[in-house]
Amino acid sequence: MEKPSEIAKSIFLFLKSDEAMVMRIEFLVVVTAVLFLLMSILDMFRHRSRHNLIKYFLLILDGISDSTLIYTIGLMQSVPSLKKDLFPVWALMLVNLRSSVCFISAYGIPDQQNRRFTEVARVMALIGVAFLNTTFNSRFKHPIWALWAMQVVRCGYLLRVYRLATRSYLHGWSSPLLTAYMGTPDGVAANGDTATMRGYKYLVSGDQKQTVEVKPPEYKFTLFVPEHRRKMLVTLDKVWQQDASDTSSTDILTPQMKDMCLSFALYRLLRCRFDDLSLPSDSVVNTRRLISKIIGKGNADFATQISNYSEKTFRIVRSELAFLNDYFYTRYPVLFWRGFPIFASCHPVLTIAFTVWLGKDLHKIYKPKQGGANVDIIITWGFMFIIVFKELWKMIIYLLSDWTKVMVLCEYTADSFKHAPRWLCKGFLWLLCTRRSKIVHHWHNKVNQYEFLQSFNYRPCKWNILYYGTLGLFARRRDGEKPGKSIELPEDVKSAILRSLCSQNLERDSLEPNFPILFSTFGLPCSHIILVWHIATTLCEIELSQRYNGCLTDSELQHAVKAGKNSQPYVVKEERLEGALQANYIVASCISRYCAYLLVSEPDLLPDTYLSSAEVFESTVKEASDVLKGSDNLQSIYRKLMYHGDVVNVDNMNRRHPSVILARSAQVAKSLVETEVMDRWEMLAGVWAEMLVHIAPSWNAAAHKKCLSTGGEFVTQIWAILSHCNIQESNLWPQQESPNDNEAEQQEESVSGNQASFSAQQRAAAGHGGVRDDEAGPSGTKPNDETKDDDEKKMSVNLSSRTPIKRDSVS
Residues 328 and 346 placed together within one structural domain of the fold: no
User: What share of the chain has pLDDT > 70, as a percent?
Assistant: 74
Q: Is residue 652 part of a domain?
A: yes
Q: How many CB atoms lie within 10 A of CB 66?
A: 15
pLDDT score of 7: 65
pLDDT score of 217: 75
Q: Which letter does DSSP use for residue 482 in this model?
A: P
pLDDT score of 771: 61
Mean pLDDT over each residue of the chain, to the nearest integer: 78
> Above 50 in pLDDT, residue 180?
yes
Give the helix, strand, coil percentages of the chain, each rounded to 5: 65, 5, 35
Q: pLDDT grade, residue 548 (50/70/90)?
A: confident
Q: Is residue 799 part of a domain?
A: no
Residues 160 and 254 placed together within one structural domain of the fold: no
Residues 62 and 155 placed together within one structural domain of the fold: yes
Residues 386 and 429 placed together within one structural domain of the fold: no
CA–CA gap between residue 444 and residue 267 (Å, rounded)? 19
Q: Is residue 267 part of a domain?
A: yes
Q: Is residue 802 part of a domain?
A: no
Q: Which letter does DSSP use for residue 513 in this model?
A: -
Q: How are beta strands 211-215 and 220-224 bridged, if at all?
A: antiparallel
Average pLDDT over residues 579-590: 93
| Number of structural domains found in the chain | 3
Residues 284 and 421 placed together within one structural domain of the fold: yes
Q: Is residue 744 part of a domain?
A: no
- Higher confidence at residue 407 or residue 189? 407
Mean pLDDT highest for which of 303-312, 360-369, 522-531? Answer: 303-312
Q: Is residue 455 part of a domain?
A: yes
Q: Is residue 417 part of a domain?
A: yes
Residues 619 and 473 placed together within one structural domain of the fold: yes
Of 64, 535, 147, 548, nearest to 350 by C-alpha is 147
> Above 80 in pLDDT, residue 372?
no
Distances (CA, A) of 38 to 33, 34, 97, 390: 9, 6, 11, 13
Residues 107-138: pLDDT tens digits?
545 554 455 556 666 677 777 777 776 767 77
Residues 105 and 58 placed together within one structural domain of the fold: yes
pLDDT score of 331: 83
Residues 676 and 769 placed together within one structural domain of the fold: yes
* Contact between 581 and 541 (Cβ < 8 Å): no
pLDDT score of 238: 87
Residues 628 and 608 placed together within one structural domain of the fold: yes
Residues 422 and 287 placed together within one structural domain of the fold: yes
Residues 229 and 315 placed together within one structural domain of the fold: yes
| pTM for this model (two decimals) | 0.83
Residues 475 and 520 placed together within one structural domain of the fold: yes
Helix (H, G, I), strand (E, B) or coil at 205: strand
Average pLDDT over residues 397-405: 85
Candidate from 131-145, 342-356, 716-730 with smallest mean pLDDT: 131-145
Q: How are beta strands 510-511 and 729-730 bridged, if at all?
A: parallel
CA–CA gap between residue 261 and residue 239 (Å, rounded)? 7
Q: Which domain holds residue 159?
A: 16-169+337-400
Q: Is residue 240 part of a domain?
A: no
H helical segments located in 414-454? 422-433
> Above 60 in pLDDT, residue 244?
no
CA–CA gap between residue 512 and residue 731 (Å, rounded)? 5
